[in-house]
């Protein structure tokens, strides 16, 4: 059995460094609040993509960085 796990991306810095942020409002009936370890984003929204697409995007960004340098 194969389980597909999507990657959660921070909407601010576009990196997959999100974790659950627990606070007094967390709990049953409320959406999970997330915190980005990289940029400090704190909120309910995130981008969710397929892991294969994330790898392709990273390879494209790496080649763009090489051209600019």
With 0-12 CB in 10 A as exposed, 13-18 as middle and 19+ as buried, what is 18?
Answer: buried
- What pTM was estimated for this model as a whole? 0.61
Output the tens digit of pLDDT for each of the chain's 69 residues: 667 778 889 999 988 889 988 766 556 667 778 899 999 999 888 888 887 777 655 655 554 444 444
What is the pLDDT at residue 68?
Answer: 43
C-alpha 49/C-alpha 60 separation (Å) is 16
């Amino acid at each position: 059995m194969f389980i597909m796990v999507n990657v959660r991306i921070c909407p601010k810095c576009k990196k997959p460094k999100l974790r659950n942020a627990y606070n007094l409002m967390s709990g049953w009936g409320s959406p999970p609040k997330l915190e980005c370890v990289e940029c400090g984003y704190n909120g309910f929204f995130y981008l969710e993509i397929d892991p294969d697409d994330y790898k392709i995007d990273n390879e494209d960004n790496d080649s763009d960085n090489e051209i600019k340098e």
